[in-house]
Structure 1
Amino acid sequence: MKKIYIVLGMLSLILSTSCKKYLDQVPTDRLSMEKIFETRESTRQYLASVYTYIPDEYNQRQLQEGEIFKTYGPWTAASDEAEYTWTFVLSHLWNNNTITATEGFIGRRWKSWYTGIHTATKFITYAPSCPELSETTKNQWIAEARALRAIYYFYLVRAYGPVPVIGDVISQDTPLGELQIPRSTSDECFDYIISELRRAVNEGLVEHVSQEGNPSSEGYGRIDRTVARAFIIEAMMFRASPLFNGGNQQYAGLTNPDGTKLFPTLSDADKKARWKAAADEAASFIADYVPRFYDLQREYTNGVLDPYLSYRAATRGAYTKLSSYTELIFYRIGTSSGTMQYDRTPNHKGVNNDYKGGGALGATQEMVDAYFMANGQLPVTGYESDGKTPVINAASGYSETGKISADYKDPVSGRVLAPSNTSRMYYNREPRFYAGITFSGQKWLYDKDGAIYTDMTYSGNAGKLQGVNDFSKTGYVVRKSAPEGPRGTEDRVCILLRLAQVYLNYVEALNESDPSNPDILKYLNLIRERAGIPKYGTGANALPVPAAGQEMAKAIMAERRVELAFENSRFFDVRRWGTAEQNQNKAIYGMNVEADGDNFYKRTKVEDRVFDKRQYFFPIPQSEIDIDKALVQNPGY
């Protein structure tokens, strides 16, 4: 049998490349790699190529595209946060449970992250030979590639479950028919991810990018110790959660062909120990870096904390203002921000493109209901048996009857949050609601040429009339990260991790391992304080402290849902918690976009969503399984 040169982890590439080409390239490839690493500049450029696989989550509507860079996913509209109007968007495959192992996107993301892993490994292998690098720079750059490789493994495991871990091997001469690489166990995957991140921390990463200058140099956007340590927390959180700690019975019997179990069987004590390890890691991060490098973003108006502006700044990510952000930990520079801004700018018919977009990423009514009221209470605590009629929390002051007679203004700045004649549903809500959701009647963010008010009723300027495709199916548009200036003119980084997520990880892990720890309340309240809503147990208009355990867990989940809304967290949170079968397997609702006037403000079914047990993970690409018989498929595909 002919022997061919095989790149481990990218087996599908073989199908499109002749054996002769691979045979011919062995010596030239090795020669060219040595040439690349002869100079500092070409070595730096190769390291930059390792960074290209960091996700650009601003491009989630174009999953059908064939590029293997930017590694975006379906996360926002494939959760109960949002729905795309456009039928071509592949998030619909998750929402109606028609995703298959042969879907192109499934293979592309597998290929993308393994290509990033392979590229990082080549850098780690060849960079030591570069004669123009100082030992300090060499160690730093190799550590960056090592951390990126671990992060790409984390993204693979998060989406597909346990995957083959191939370590430092770049390639080997192996007969195609004999190449069989089984999946590593979930514990082996997390052991590798965490150990490689720790090694990167200890063997060269600078402590923080601020030590390397400004955006025009080599600082911002690079991996440093703080980023690597934040991802250690992320990995530990997933490892401790029911999806990976043996708590999800869908995967209890999943084994490799040799009988190796891919998921552990743990005692309650072992599960608790994993949560404690995650909590300890988060506590260490906070102690070392807050407020030294990071703090919750806080903006002030006339010397008073302005929660609305604070939250907008924390989630905006303007490239030109990176030095002013205190909360951003990890982000991608170089994004499809124009795509994101088009999706989140309402159509606004009759005006120029500075104010006009597609507005087809519609927030669900369920997400709208999840935001708190200004008094810190939830407006809706559940739904009647029809799945539509809300169970209204009377103490919150929420009402769906009538409209407000006067402008509802921000108590700090006086800015109008809900104009007069707006539905009472949007009155007296928390500041994060007004930063996160565009509702009908709301003033648009950019007003240089005069105020524009978004009208999503059927005949409105952003409505469905005339059969245009650019409207929201839900009667809401995702506002978070939308442009504050003319559409498409703002440079934006794609925020992937910020300090609020570390705080939320910390309190969740503490509640599972040490439920009486006072830090739970401290850090949960820090987020609520910045959000401008009453805290639990302290301060003005304090709310009762949730009971330790399940009640506190519900409070943490509710806070996480709002604080991290539309930041690619919800899709994975409900999976790692094991709750997706309950909260994703049902209809989503919105306003009645087929109606004008008061009839618009009627809860209307948008789509019946289907969630099956198999959907906790992506399928392993069928093209990989066809080659590698040791690569077992996830159940249900």
Structure 2
Amino acid sequence: MKAFTNHILTATLALTLGLTSCNDNFLNVTPTDRVSDAAILTDANLFEDYIINRYMGARLTDKEAEGTLPGFGRGFEYALWSSVTDESIYNNDDNTWLIQRGQIAPENTGIAGTFWGRSYRSIREINYALNNIGKVTMSDARRQVLTGELKFLRAYRYHDLIRNYGRVVLVGDNVSELGDDLTSQALFTRADIKSGIDYAVAQLDQAAALLPQSNDGNWQLGRATKGAALALKARLLLYGASPLYNGASTWTAAAAAAKAVMDLNKYSLYTGGYGKIFTSNDNNEIIFGRLYARGARHVCLEIANGPNSYNAWGGNVPLQNMVDDYEMIDGTKISDSNTSYDAKNPYKNRDPRFYATILYNDATYRSSTIQTFTPGGKDSKDGPSNWNTSKSGYYLRKFMDDTLPIDNPWDIAGTQTWIYIRYAEVLLNYAEAQNEAVGPDASVYAAVNAIRQRTGVGMPALPTGLTQAQMRSRIQQERRIELAFEEHRFYDVRRWKIAPTTENVPAYGVEIGKNSSGAYTYSRKEALTGRSFTDKQYWLPIPRAEIQASNNKLEQNPGY
């Protein structure tokens, strides 16, 4: 039996700070390259450092964790999570195309294979801290806050598991060791989705009661607060009420949870420009984010995603599917009969968020313009470094900081905050849940319109008199645009059960020609062939190694 490889059981013999527990006398030596568990339990500052490190996880696959260890979700890695959706593709594959093409399998999970192992390893490490925090000498107030952080972190790991796999194993406070009885089916029994969400929500309620509203004097955005716990609770309850989750929670509960965050009166929509939300490391829209610093950076986004003529690698390239969904500045869709869209000038007068999210032909960029046209466009296949030319005809603008270098960015770039939760999401969560619970009342309109009409966006208010179904479509559209590339689309299309439609559409791009008179022609092309979705892909497969490590006691998701 290969129990020692299963992350539910042991996760690792040495926790991230190097905790050891050797029983054999010939191995019972004091290591000099790590901090012992005894030292951590006798030093409150070391113990808090251990807790801070629980915001990170183990590096489990190639092409992740550049600069610092990974956190939750995918975050700022080379291939963003958007590149397994209809938002973008990763230009150089990096184990994303198989997911786009519906070829993911327990033996070949691509970039999606780390959630199970990393989450359970982290849960074990968190449980160790919770089981031992009472032994550490510190003030009651400090112990209370640290306990709240640990419960928040544990709930976040379960949130990552639930939204990717559905039914999860609830291990409670258990910290399994190699000497434990590893034959019990309880160690591998997956709870129903409602039980998983109920458990995580209870953890978040406990965390919210212990955490401060602000971490003044601490790492402000990087550590959990009451608002972060309540906002994650609202997201989980929204998911649970969605069609995929079979009534694991209610729309009424989800709306109330989001309203509780709004009623804190602590957060607000950023009004300094939509694009600057993601390059300003401290603004009042961010509820929970991961801070980076020089010397502890993430992937240098500008070189990883920039256009080829800038000696960049054109990584996550937006799809025409995404571009087509941006409204015109007057609120019409490009497909509307009364649209103001001009097919001969397709990028004119679009939603301002389009210009802050996507680089397109003729877009202003770094004192120059993007040229994806052929022949001769510097950001096309006719330009330098043409192996990095965008397959879709677009490049990513969102998250990029023009004050950071593209050439030789190492130890300088990669400093943007990755935002896990922001206030705009809370407003959209509230609007969706409230609309489903009672219909499109005034508060639903207010939440969506606040996002559309904020300074720096200025889109028209939603039309009055929408039915519940019409409002549902508008909210889904607003999430598509407002939260683009922020790791929501993958889960949204699944929980709404619209993935068979959105994920079976080809991955489109654009081919732009320029004639001798300087006029452009635009033609749709397929940027990545074979895009496909089947029902089994509503959930990820549990990696085969985890099933084998349980001696086949762990149940695989249907279809795999």
Place the TM-score, normalised by the shorter chain, in its bin: 0.7 to 0.9
Listed as ranges, the matches of 1:119-138 within 5 Å are: 119-131=125-137, 133-138=138-143
Distance in 2 of aligned mates of 1:61 and 1:560: 31
Question: Which residue pairs with 1:427 in the alignment?
Answer: 348
Question: Which residue pairs with 2:256 in the alignment?
Answer: 280
The reply to whether residue 468 of structure 1 matches residue 401 of structure 2 is no
State the 1:545 CA deviation: 2.2
Maintained 8 Å contact 2:304/2:313: yes
State the 1:208 CA deviation: 1.9
Q: Which amino acid aligns with 2:82?
A: T
Question: Which residue pairs with 2:497 in the alignment?
Answer: 578
Distance in 2 of aligned mates of 1:45 and 1:198: 24
Q: Which amino acid aligns with 1:483?
A: D
Distance in 1 of aligned mates of 2:390 and 2:278: 22
State the 1:103 CA deviation: 2.7
Residues 71 and 510 (structure 1 numbering): CA distance in 2 closer, same or farther, change over 3 Å? closer
Distance in 2 of aligned mates of 1:97 and 1:572: 16
State the 1:235 CA deviation: 0.7
Distance in 1 of aligned mates of 2:170 and 2:333: 44
State the 1:189 CA deviation: 0.6
Listed as ranges, the matches of 1:399-414 within 5 Å are: 399-401=342-344
Question: Which residue pairs with 1:17 in the alignment?
Answer: none
Distance in 1 of aligned mates of 2:326 and 2:549: 47
Distance in 2 of aligned mates of 1:546 and 1:346: 44
1:358 corresponds, among 307, 313, 316, to: 313
State the 1:178 CA deviation: 4.7
Residues 426 and 7 (structure 1 numbering): CA distance in 2 closer, same or farther, change over 3 Å? closer
State the 1:91 CA deviation: 1.7
Distance in 1 of aligned mates of 2:207 and 2:146: 10
User: Secondary structure at 2:180's aligned position in 1?
Assistant: strand
Offset from partner CA, 1:191-244 (integer Å, 9 cap, x none)? 110001111112x211222xx22xxx4433110100000000011011111111
Listed as ranges, the matches of 1:574-613 within 5 Å are: 574-592=493-511, 601-607=522-528, 608-613=530-535
Distance in 1 of aligned mates of 2:127 and 2:224: 16
Residues 224 and 599 (structure 1 numbering): CA distance in 2 closer, same or farther, change over 3 Å? same
Listed as ranges, the matches of 1:165-564 within 5 Å are: 165-171=170-176, 173-178=179-184, 180-202=187-209, 204-209=210-215, 212-213=216-217, 217-245=218-246, 274-288=250-264, 290=265, 293-299=266-272, 310-316=273-279, 318-319=280-281, 322=282, 325-334=283-292, 337-348=298-309, 355-380=310-335, 393-401=336-344, 424-444=345-365, 446=366, 451-458=367-374, 459-465=376-382, 468-485=386-403, 486-487=405-406, 488=409, 489-490=412-413, 491-530=415-454, 531-536=457-462, 544-545=463-464, 547-564=466-483
Distance in 2 of aligned mates of 1:295 and 1:60: 37
Question: Which residue pairs with 2:44 in the alignment?
Answer: 40
Residues 338 and 50 (structure 1 numbering): CA distance in 2 closer, same or farther, change over 3 Å? closer
State the 1:110 CA deviation: 1.4
Question: Which residue pairs with 1:76 in the alignment?
Answer: 82
TM-score by length of 1: 0.76
Q: Which amino acid aligns with 2:269?
A: L
Unaligned ranges ≥5, structure 2: 14-20, 75-79
State the 1:106 CA deviation: 4.7
Distance in 1 of aligned mates of 2:340 and 2:434: 32
Maintained 8 Å contact 2:55/2:71: no
Offset from partner CA, 1:568-618 (integer Å, 9 cap, x none)? 111110011010011111212111268877576211122231011111111
1:154 corresponds, among 138, 155, 159, to: 159
Residues 156 and 28 (structure 1 numbering): CA distance in 2 closer, same or farther, change over 3 Å? farther
Distance in 2 of aligned mates of 1:560 and 1:429: 17
Question: Which residue pairs with 2:77 in the alignment?
Answer: none
User: Secondary structure at 2:244's aligned position in 1?
Assistant: coil
Identity across aligned pairs (percent)?
A: 29
Distance in 2 of aligned mates of 1:225 and 1:190: 19
Question: Which residue pairs with 1:252 in the alignment?
Answer: none
Distance in 2 of aligned mates of 1:40 and 1:586: 54
Give the stretch that moved more between structures: 361-370 or 483-492.
Answer: 483-492
Maintained 8 Å contact 2:221/2:288: no
Distance in 2 of aligned mates of 1:6 and 1:99: 22
Question: Which residue pairs with 2:8 in the alignment?
Answer: 9
Q: Which amino acid aligns with 1:478?
A: L
State the 1:478 CA deviation: 1.5
Offset from partner CA, 1:351-380 (integer Å, 9 cap, x none)? xxxx54222321111111111111122223
Residues 360 and 599 (structure 1 numbering): CA distance in 2 closer, same or farther, change over 3 Å? farther
Residues 96 and 573 (structure 1 numbering): CA distance in 2 closer, same or farther, change over 3 Å? same
User: Secondary structure at 2:263's aligned position in 1?
Assistant: helix
User: Secondary structure at 2:346's aligned position in 1?
Assistant: helix
Distance in 2 of aligned mates of 1:94 and 1:593: 28
Count of aligned positions: 524
State the 1:457 CA deviation: 2.0
Distance in 2 of aligned mates of 1:134 and 1:468: 60
Residues 10 and 102 (structure 1 numbering): CA distance in 2 closer, same or farther, change over 3 Å? farther
Question: Which residue pairs with 2:56 in the alignment?
Answer: 52
Distance in 1 of aligned mates of 2:140 and 2:11: 37
Distance in 1 of aligned mates of 2:267 and 2:23: 51
Distance in 2 of aligned mates of 1:356 and 1:467: 6
- Aligned-residue RMSD, C-alpha: 3.1
Residues 33 and 7 (structure 1 numbering): CA distance in 2 closer, same or farther, change over 3 Å? farther
The reply to whether residue 108 of structure 1 matches residue 94 of structure 2 is no
